[in-house]
């Protein structure tokens, strides 16, 4: 049985038991030539609700995602061909969210039966090293989208506070994405984004915190205005031209 050849990382008994059962499922359900286990559990800093992320690489053309419990441990299984992984890495570079690249490079290779595995892992490492690759047009689209959200939030703040805060939360999220994109940096995991901004740009971090947590609505809106001006340079509609695009996809 191929699962007997898997090299499990050193984990606490609870996690080791869960990963072993998950591995048996992987090899009974799929036909991998490589398996990588990632997530905060294997990195050694799990939260109570942390899960296993298992990347299964096979030679079939299809992809599949499975979410299951194994011995009480939530587990996400991503089944992909090398071609799908290559596509993800390119897409992540363009969008600034290196999910697959991060899982592959921070995870533990627990099984491999092909030299192609090394090439795939190297592609992931190179993708992270290159960083994000946003065009000027893509950055401008992000700025405009965020500015319009701020404008909408400001317009309804006096008559619909709950809706204003809903829109403002989306505006802050868009601003965070742009903060990373404008620096051609990957944004990293959601749980770490604010920490990264606060460390590198404390003034922006303080404005984000005040926008989301100030006890008085008027202070939130004032902070939001300053945040928008500081990061994207606009708080509403501004002139912009996308340039000529290509034909519609068929």
**Higher-scoring residue by pLDDT: 117, 131:** 117
pLDDT at 76: 96
Number of residues that this document lists for the chain:
250
**Residue 4 reports pLDDT greater than 60:** no
Percentage with pLDDT > 70 across the chain:
98
- Residues 36 and 126 both lie in one domain: yes
- Residues 64 and 146 both lie in one domain: no
Is 245 contained in some domain? no
- Residues 152 and 124 both lie in one domain: no
- Residues 188 and 119 both lie in one domain: no
In the chain, the number of structural domains is: 2
Q: What is the mean pLDDT of the chain?
A: 91
- The mean per-residue pLDDT over the stretch 117-132 comes to 92
For position 79, which CATH number holds? Answer: 3.30.460.10
- Residues 94 and 202 both lie in one domain: no
Residue 139 confidence class, pLDDT cut points 50, 70, 90: very high
* Phi-psi map region of 185: left, alpha, beta (phi>0 left; psi -120 to 50 alpha): beta
Distance CA 102, CA 107 (A): 8
- The mean per-residue pLDDT over the stretch 225-239 comes to 93
Is 30 contained in some domain? yes
Residue-wise pLDDT tens digits, 24-53: 999 999 999 999 999 999 988 888 888 999
**Residue 23 reports pLDDT greater than 50:** yes
Is 240 contained in some domain? no
**Residue 2 reports pLDDT greater than 80:** no
Residue 93 confidence class, pLDDT cut points 50, 70, 90: confident
Residue-wise pLDDT tens digits, 171-199: 999 999 999 999 998 887 788 899 999 99
pLDDT at 44: 86
Is 98 contained in some domain? yes
Range of the domain at 122: 2-130
Percentage with pLDDT > 90 across the chain:
73
Q: Token pair of 150, please?
A: 């701020």
- Residues 123 and 174 both lie in one domain: no
- Residues 109 and 10 both lie in one domain: yes
Helical packing angle, 82-95 and 116-130, nearest 10°:
0
- Contacts of residue 213, defined as CB under 8 A and 6 or more positions apart, other chains included, come to none
Is 247 contained in some domain? no
Q: Where are the alpha helices (DSSP H) in 107-216?
A: 116-130, 136-156, 161-181, 190-200, 202-213
Residue 1 confidence class, pLDDT cut points 50, 70, 90: very low
Domain endpoint, select from 107, 130, 153: 130
pLDDT at 3: 52
For position 143, which CATH number holds? Answer: 1.20.120
């Amino acid at each position: 049985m191929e699962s007997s050849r898997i090299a499990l990382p050193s984990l606490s008994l609870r996690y080791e038991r869960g990963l072993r059962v998950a591995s048996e499922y992987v090899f009974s359900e799929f036909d991998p030539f490589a398996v990588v286990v990632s997530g905060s559990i294997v990195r050694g800093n799990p939260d109570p609700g942390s899960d296993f992320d298992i990347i299964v690489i096979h030679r079939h053309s299809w992809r599949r995602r499975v979410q299951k419990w194994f011995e009480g441990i939530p587990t996400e299984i991503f089944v992909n061909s090398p071609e799908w992984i290559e596509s993800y890495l390119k897409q992540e570079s363009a969008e600034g969210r290196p999910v697959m690249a991060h899982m592959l490079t921070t995870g533990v290779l627990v099984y491999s039966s092909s030299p192609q595995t090394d090439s795939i892992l190297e592609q992931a490492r190179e993708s992270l090293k290159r960083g994000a690759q946003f065009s000027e047009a893509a950055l401008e689209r992000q700025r405009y989208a965020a500015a319009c959200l701020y404008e909408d939030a400001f317009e309804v703040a006096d008559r619909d506070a709950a809706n204003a805060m809903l829109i403002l939360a989306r505006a802050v999220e868009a601003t965070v994405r742009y903060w990373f994109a404008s620096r051609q940096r990957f944004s990293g995991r959601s749980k770490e984004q604010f920490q990264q901004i606060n460390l590198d740009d404390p003034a922006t971090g303080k404005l984000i915190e005040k926008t989301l947590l100030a006890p008085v609505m008027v202070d939130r809106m004032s902070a939001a205005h300053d945040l928008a001006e500081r990061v994207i340079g606009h708080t509403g509609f501004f002139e912009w031209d996308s340039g000529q695009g290509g034909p519609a996809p068929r």
